[in-house]
A and B are shown apart, each in its own frame.
Chain A
């Protein structure tokens, strides 16, 4: 269908007009929009991209650059796990647009629940998030012990239902919320009678499973916070790490990080980076007990969705590397998602998942989710000023780096293909029993 009126070609589906005359009418429209009922989460199909569009986002109106490649991942995160989400956010773009206090784009639903978010420092974010995990576990432990102590007053059946409740599916989580809600009502009745009930009221919400996410950029994950990240991944604890990978220190103005690719220019790599980016995915996979995914929403949103859900469901450490286009790449971000698709088509950013659970059901844990490269690296890279500018200022060197980058892509893809055919993946069989939540 045409985007313009067939009788008035200047009238489009969306038109710019003077604001003053429209404010009142649009206020009414917004009020109507906000009165629309929110979909019942327990009836939404979380398994496909279409279904997830019906989930209420709890990340809105951020101050990120127009066309930011990071924020769609955070919106998805908030849709999937928003009302039980705890986020430790590294300093960087996501901590600026995510917490430009006193305002924040993180919001709550009609029940008053939403993500709990905090930022500590740049270098300690993984440890900060691990602290969230330890605190949540301690609170849960306390809640469970108080619950058992009050079993007689509360009723064995009610207590057992809460203790034994599965909490993997959204419908199960919803049922647990109802149980905990009823428990709270009962505890309020009992609160006057004893200290134990009052104590349980403080921690009772922890009986609904928390979703702990450690979020940051590549500057944090690959460089400044890398030691801590490695430590946390090695802990085996149930935390989820989301790296919004722009391949450069975006917030401070485009300095090279260890995620910056070969041949791209960046501050501190003005003549083009001469070493390839660090393969953080493979480093994490080497542990054998870390769930690892490499995603690009613009290339395959379904794979992104599945990776987020699998990471969250995995009872151990998870790491998601999310390709995020950025103004520091030097192209019109209106084409951001298409450019992500080209990154994958060229083989530069293979989509992959390493799921240790697969081994327990006799399947290969390493899955290559993107097909073999179908376009040359140049067709992706030279749409971006970070690569193209070098070809103009130092054409011979750019050509050499381009050749080297292409060779690396082909080598890496072959390696990944080999991993995908291995029964145990790239790690030893012994690794399968290690780790997971202690």
Chain B
């Protein structure tokens, strides 16, 4: 059975990737994921504001009590705390690259222009196989023009592309007026792959404490439809690889995404829900599915149902959509 997959010129043993999240945050887990057959891993996102917050926290611990009493100006020996969190993230990249043979993809969530560029450079220097930009913009400012928001995405990709040579993936959300056009613009700006989709922060309210809950719900197979649609629309039509990344729980979702045209399929929720060993199950079940149909390569199914997956998307096919809705009621 040939599951080998090319993703942004990285050679993967199979198309299933452990995406950014707690499951890839430790060296032990990364080793176990490799043992369980993961095609690649994406490290947890390095958040620029998290780095700044951590730095500020450390600075406050070091400095808050300084100059409080006449007898002590400080309470710690001189510490080089510059970018202390960056160092630990970069160390994780270096250790992961040394520890496993599968590609190690770093993930960056920046805020400032300098942040995107500088951290991207450091990540490349640390030896990451590729970089995934986790662009997380919630345009809550009502005065922002859609064009401004879209241009910001493009500018980030272009800026990072200009300063690193490693493959570059961009993870985006679905909320654009014209996601296809946006995907094309991102690819044109230099992205080698698009990861569909980012799941943005969506608050809930705890009625017993009247506080806002920010816990992220794990994604479920019911959520794959939106990504399935856009994988179907975009794959083969933009100059970039397409990674599917929402709602994977079993090999069924992996197969569906591949049929729709995804080059690779990513999951975090399934690993958090069922444990790291679930990666082995996903890989084996994908193989069984292919084997049961006498298929010998994952390429035999990739994109096979691309058009079917996207067929109700166009306005011209609204008739089918109406038929489906009517069928639901009867």
Interface residues of A in 356-412 (CB under 8 A from B): 385-386, 389, 392-393, 395
A52 proximal to B (CB < 8 A): no
B81: contacting residue among A2, A3, A389, CB under 8 A: A389
Contact between B72 and A254, CB atoms less than 8 A apart: yes
Least CB distance, B49 to chain A, in whole angstroms: 19
B62: contacting residue among A251, A268, A330, CB under 8 A: A330
- CA gap between A330 and B73 in the complex, in Å: 15
Contact between A392 and B87, CB atoms less than 8 A apart: yes
By beta carbon, the residue of chain A nearest B57 is: A332
Interface residues of B in 176-235 (CB under 8 A from A): 208-211
B10 proximal to A (CB < 8 A): no
How many A-B residue pairs lie within 8 Å, measured between CB atoms?
69
Chain B contact residue count (CB 8 A cutoff): 26
Contact between A253 and B78, CB atoms less than 8 A apart: no
List residues of A whose CB falls within 8 A of some B CB.
2-4, 6, 9, 65, 96, 250-254, 265-270, 327-328, 330-332, 385-386, 389, 392-393, 395
- CA gap between A252 and B211 in the complex, in Å: 42
Interface residues of B in 50-74 (CB under 8 A from A): 58, 61-62, 64-65, 68-69, 71-74
Contact between A270 and B77, CB atoms less than 8 A apart: yes
- CA gap between A328 and B64 in the complex, in Å: 11
Contact between A393 and B80, CB atoms less than 8 A apart: yes
Contact between A65 and B68, CB atoms less than 8 A apart: yes
**Chain B CB within 10 Å — which of A65, A96, A253, A330 has the most?**
A253
Point out the residues of chain B lying under 8 angstroms from A4, CB to CB: 209-211
- CA gap between A117 and B134 in the complex, in Å: 61
By beta carbon, the residue of chain A nearest B84 is: A392
Least CB distance, B91 to chain A, in whole angstroms: 7
Least CB distance, B96 to chain A, in whole angstroms: 14
Contact between A251 and B71, CB atoms less than 8 A apart: yes
By beta carbon, the residue of chain B nearest A266 is: B77
Point out the residues of chain B lying under 8 angstroms from A253, CB to CB: 71-75
Contact between B71 and A270, CB atoms less than 8 A apart: no
Contact between B74 and A270, CB atoms less than 8 A apart: no
Point out the residues of chain B lying under 8 angstroms from A251, CB to CB: 69, 71-72
Least CB distance, A301 to chain B, in whole angstroms: 26
Least CB distance, A278 to chain B, in whole angstroms: 21
Point out the residues of chain A lying under 8 angstroms from B79, CB to CB: 265, 389, 393
Least CB distance, A293 to chain B, in whole angstroms: 28
**16 A–B contact pairs at CB < 8 A?**
A2-B208, A250-B72, A251-B69, A251-B71, A253-B72, A254-B72, A254-B75, A265-B79, A267-B76, A268-B77, A270-B77, A270-B78, A330-B62, A331-B61, A392-B84, A393-B79
Point out the residues of chain B lying under 8 angstroms from A389, CB to CB: 58, 76, 79, 81, 84
B88 proximal to A (CB < 8 A): yes
Interface residues of B in 75-107 (CB under 8 A from A): 75-81, 84, 87-88, 91
By beta carbon, the residue of chain A nearest B61 is: A330
- CA gap between A211 and B58 in the complex, in Å: 43
Least CB distance, B53 to chain A, in whole angstroms: 13
Least CB distance, B64 to chain A, in whole angstroms: 8
- CA gap between A65 and B61 in the complex, in Å: 13
By beta carbon, the residue of chain A nearest B91 is: A395
Known contacts A253-B74, A385-B62, A389-B76, then 17 further A-B pairs from the complex at CB < 8 Å, ordered by chain A residue: A3-B209, A9-B210, A250-B72, A250-B75, A251-B69, A251-B72, A254-B72, A266-B76, A268-B77, A327-B75, A330-B61, A331-B61, A389-B58, A389-B79, A392-B81, A392-B87, A395-B91
Point out the residues of chain B lying under 8 angstroms from A266, CB to CB: 76-77
- CA gap between A389 and B58 in the complex, in Å: 9
Point out the residues of chain A lying under 8 angstroms from B208, CB to CB: 2
B76: contacting residue among A2, A9, A328, CB under 8 A: A328
**Chain B CB within 10 Å — which of A3, A4, A254, A392 has the most?**
A392
Least CB distance, B78 to chain A, in whole angstroms: 7
Least CB distance, B186 to chain A, in whole angstroms: 35
**Chain B CB within 10 Å — which of A9, A385, A395 has the most?**
A385
Point out the residues of chain B lying under 8 angstroms from A385, CB to CB: 58, 61-62, 76
Contact between A265 and B77, CB atoms less than 8 A apart: yes
**Chain A CB within 10 Å — which of B58, B75, B81 has the most?**
B75
Point out the residues of chain A lying under 8 angstroms from B80, CB to CB: 393
Contact between A254 and B71, CB atoms less than 8 A apart: no
Least CB distance, A10 to chain B, in whole angstroms: 10
